[in-house]
Every structure is written in structure tokens, then in C-alpha cells.
Amino acid sequence: MGAAESGKTTLLEQIRLLYNQNWTEAEMFHSKAFIYNNILQNIRILIEGVKKSGEKLTNPENEPRAESLLNNDESRYARFPESMANDIKSIWNDPSIQEIYAKRSTMNLNDSAKYFLDNLDNINKEDYVPSPKDLIMSYVPTVGVQNVIFTCNNRAFQLFDIGGQKIDRRKWATMYDGIDAIFFCLAISEYNQTMYEDPNMNRLIDSLSLLQKISDEPKFKETPIFLFLNEVDVFKEKLNIFPLENYCLNYSGKSEEDALNYMESLAKQATIGRSMGLIYIYRMFFKIALALLLTSSVFSTNPKFTYFVDKLKGRIGDAAMNCSDDQYAAAHKCFDAYYANWNAVPFTFEQFEKQYDHLMDSKGVQGFEQACTYQDTLTKCLIAANVNMDNCVTNEAFEDWYKINVTEAEQFRTTYFIFDYECNAGKPIVTQNFVCLRDIKRRDKKDMDICQTQYNNALNSGTPFCKAYNDYVTCVENVYTHYCGKQVVPWICNVEEIGLKVNYDGCNNQLQNCNQ
Ligand SMILES: Nc1nc2c(ncn2[C@@H]2O[C@H](COP(=O)(O)OP(=O)(O)OP(=O)(O)O)[C@@H](O)[C@H]2O)c(=O)[nH]1
Ligand SMILES: [Mg+2]
């Protein structure tokens, strides 16, 4: 859900790409028609932009061409005649148009204008077939309902996409039954824009009141909302040109981060009264990059990217969270009791590690045994509450409970799994080699840095991520063998692999067998 042009269909298309769902010929045909329409609309907006600024086109020959484009067919959904295509190209390359394009955030210009105008030659060919990237970049207003079915984590999902223009919203209520989760898109970049449908209505205000309406809808009382604060890229670009305080009078922040936090606070206000487990807010930092990257081989092997894709899949998986509010609250209590043992104040991962090291240093192997009793109590508590770490205690849960950022949330959550291993299957190795394993962290700093550097270099030179990670694990194993002996290899191998697998499961069959 979300207002028009907030990115709903873009999100759906990305999901389709992730799950390898091809477009049908009819859809292709439909989108292709809109690409021509997008091109014409965009060049018209640019011409109007030059006019409004009181300027003229730099090349006088372009003036009559521009007039004819403005006065020609209202809209166009097919290839341009040769002469019209040439006119558009000539105008697009006009310095005045390029200058106004540079200031595009002042206009309601579609973000993909440049992409399509630059590619006009190709698009206007008789045998042109839009690429996935073209389809993602185009804006095809959704009329009625689209639906996609895909499988993630062995669960089948049916995702509906509905039109966000005012006229379409009237039909929304007919879809409210049987919905398990809502993806809501809010284009935060629109704070300075008004609606096509209602030129007196600010788009951000409209979007927020729509969000509030959905959040307050009795039928969605128990339905989780995944809120995507979208178009962060455009938002950041705009901030310098249109200061946020001119539009949001009670905003007094200074930085980009302040502005983003402010937007998030508006979204929170609109969803006030929802329990934490029923609203998840994400910032779409990746703009529409996800699908574009997916289709580009340069990026699809980039570890950061594959990691991200996996996270998005995880998030979609979260929609299926078979974790009730009660389980979520019970899990929170289990972790609160666990962390109370550690007395890490302030509650940061660094402080937690300090407390851990202190216990190991002061009490030796007994300290480790003590840490394992905390861990056992925690695990028992989670089992008693029938809580599954995978779909209930996500990184987002840690962020939510402890008001920490995602990096720290990941560190805390990963530590749970590593301790779980160390206090069970890995326990004999840890207790038998305790002092060496404890002290190696300090002694081997330089050797470990070498492993890290080799790993970074491998990635930078294009080694596939899983191979680079595997080589890194081998390197670390060698360091541990050198100081503590071969018997500790299964331990370090497992610790390193768990650290990866908790957050990314794309390498499972490509990592070495740790033999334990
Ligand atoms: N720069 C940028 N553009 C985006 C982003 N998300 C979507 N877009 C573009 O915005 C346009 C509108 O996106 P859609 O996904 O079609 O919008 P919608 O919410 O489905 O709109 P309706 O179907 O009319 O309700 C498309 O041209 C997208 O390529 C983003 O995060 N950043
Ligand atoms: Mg749409």
C-alpha cells in the first residue's frame, strides 16, 4: 500500500526478480507502451521547466520542435515516428534542457527520465524488447490489482499490488480480508510536492494520513506493517535545495541523518498505538538499485550486495513471522534476564565484550562455565516460551528491544549462536584449550590482520565471496593451529562459519566441513 508513485510496484518487481519470475508477454507489451509515454511526459516536463524559468532553448531550431511536442498528441503509447524521435533527442541534448535537468528536484520529473532519454535510439527500434532494468525504471501507474505468488523459506506468499492514486484507493477496502502482512511504501522525498490528483494537497501529508488510516483500520489490528521509507536517494539530494524546515515547521535538525530520523518519527506518530511487533520501519537506502544490481553481473557477485539481497529475503521471510505478540514479549523477557547477568552498562556490544573478557580473565575456565549456565538458562527460557530464534528473535527484534543499531543487533544475535555452539558441541575443545584460546586474541593480532587483509584483497580482485570467505577461514585456522595446536581447528572453523551463516546462508555448500 501507499500513495501513487511511492514505489509499490517497484518493490513488487524487485521481488519478482529475486524469485526469478518472468514477465508475461502481455505485461511486457503493457510496460513497453508506458516507456514511450514516460519519455514524452518527461521531455514535456523539461521543456515546461525551461519555459517557467523564463529561459529559452539554447538552440533556436529546437524551439519549434519543442512547441510541436507540447501541442502534439496528448499521450503516446507506441514507437515515435522517426522525425519525432529526432526532435526529442535534439531537445534532450539542448544545453538549457540539460541545465534544468540538473535542477530536476524542483520538478515532478520521473527519476528515470535520463535513463530512457539517453537510450531513445535503442527504445525506438522496431524490434525493441524492454530489459528487466527498463521495466523496473518505467513508471506504469497501477490500475486495479496485480498479484504475484512466490515461495520463500518454504512458505508460499501471495503479494498484491494496488494502485495508489486517489481514485484507486476507493477499491482498497475490498481487499482487507485475509491479509497477513502489509508492505507500505512512503516516498519521503515528496515533502515539497503536491498531488496530481489534488494540487492543494502536500504529498507527504497525504501519505502519512493514508498510513495512519491503514494503521488504525480495525481489520489490521493484528497485521504487521512493513513500512518502507522510500526514495531516500532523492530525499538526500533535495535537502540542500529545499530545506526541510521550510516544509515541516517543527523540524530543527541539522544533518541528513537528523532529517531521516525526523521522517521516521513522523511515520511512528502515524502508527502510534501499534505494538513494536506490528510495525517495522526500513529505509530504502538502495533506491531502486536492488533490481538493477541483480541484473548486472558486475554487482551480483559483490558480497555486500548478495548479503543485502539475502537480508531482503530474510525480511520478506519475517512477514511470515510465526511468532505471536506473546512469544515476542516472552523472548524479550528471556533476553532481558540473560543480559542482566552480564551487567553491561551502557548496553553496547563493546561493553558486553568487556564484561565477558573480564569474567574469562578473572575466573578462567570457571568463568566460561558460568557463561554457559547463563546461556543454558536463556535457551531453556526460549524453549519454554516456544520461541524460534529464526523467525521471532530477528536482528530487528534486538534493534527494537534495546534501541541499538543494526550492526550491534547483528553482533548480539550472532553471539547467541556462537555461545550456543561453544556451550554445547564446542565445549570440550574450549575447556581443554581454554587458556590458549582465551589469550590468542591478544597474541595473534598481527597474524589475524594478515588473514583479514588477504580476504579484503581477494574480494577486491573479484574472487567469489564464498571462496574468499573459505580461504579466510583456512587462514585463521592456520593461525590457531600455530599457537594452540591442530585440535582447536574444528572450534575456530565452526565459530567463523556460524558468524557468517547466522546472517547469510548463501555459502552453505561452499564452505569447508568443520568436522564437528
Ligand atoms: N530514485 C528513486 N526512484 C524510485 C524509487 N522507488 C521507485 N522509484 C521510481 O518511482 C517511480 C514510481 O514507482 P512505482 O513503483 O511504479 O509507484 P507505485 O507506488 O506503484 O505507484 P501507483 O501504481 O501509481 O500507485 C518509478 O519510475 C520508479 O522507478 C527509489 O527508491 N528511488
Ligand atoms: Mg504501482
Helix (H) or strand (E) holding 140: none
Atom of ligand 1 nearest to the CA of 110: 27
In the chain, list all ranges with CATH 1.10.400.10.
23-133
The residue whose grid cell reads 565459530 is 495
The residues lining ligand 1, judged by C-beta closer than 6 Å to any ligand atom, are 2, 4-10, 110-112, 137, 139, 141-142, 163-165, 185, 230-231, 233-234, 284, 287-288
Pocket test for ligand 1, best of 10, 41, 142 (most atoms within 8 A of CB): 10
Helix (H) or strand (E) holding 350: helix 349-384
> Is there a binding annotation on residue 164?
yes
Pocket test for ligand 1, best of 138, 139, 295 (most atoms within 8 A of CB): 139
Atom of ligand 1 nearest to the CA of 2: 19
Question: Rg for the chain (alpha carbons), in Å?
Answer: 27
In the chain, list all ranges with CATH 3.40.50.300.
8-14+139-318
Q: Helix, strand or coil for residue 280?
A: strand
Closest CA to 315 of 391, 406, 411: 391
CATH topology of domain 8-14+139-318: Rossmann fold (3.40.50)
Tell me how far the alpha carbon of residue 470 lies from the centroid of ligand 1, in angstroms.
39
Digitized pLDDT (tens) for each residue of the chain, 516 residues in all: 999 999 898 888 777 766 656 778 888 888 899 999 999 999 999 999 999 999 999 999 999 999 999 987 677 888 999 999 999 999 999 999 999 998 776 677 877 888 899 999 999 999 998 887 788 788 888 988 888 887 655 556 778 999 999 889 988 998 898 887 888 999 999 998 888 788 888 999 999 999 999 999 999 988 888 888 888 878 888 898 889 999 998 999 999 989 999 999 999 999 998 876 678 777 764 334 343 333 333 233 434 334 444 555 554 444 444 577 888 899 999 999 999 999 999 999 999 999 999 999 999 999 999 999 999 999 999 999 999 888 788 887 898 899 887 678 888 999 999 999 999 999 999 999 999 999 887 776 788 889 988 987 887 676 777 888 999 999 999 999 999 999 999 999 999 999 888 877 667 788 999 986
The residue whose grid cell reads 547483528 is 410
> Is there a binding annotation on residue 121?
no
The residue whose grid cell reads 517543527 is 250
Atom of ligand 1 nearest to the CA of 137: 29
Q: Helix, strand or coil for residue 7?
A: coil
CATH homologous superfamily of domain 23-133?
Answer: GI Alpha 1, domain 2-like (1.10.400.10)
Are 319 and 182 spatial neighbours (Cβ–Cβ below 8 Å)? Answer: no
> Is there a binding annotation on residue 317?
no
Nearest protein Cα to ligand 1, atom 21: 5
Looking from the CA of 100 toward its CB, the CA atoms found within 13 Å total 27
Nearest protein Cα to ligand 1, atom 14: 7
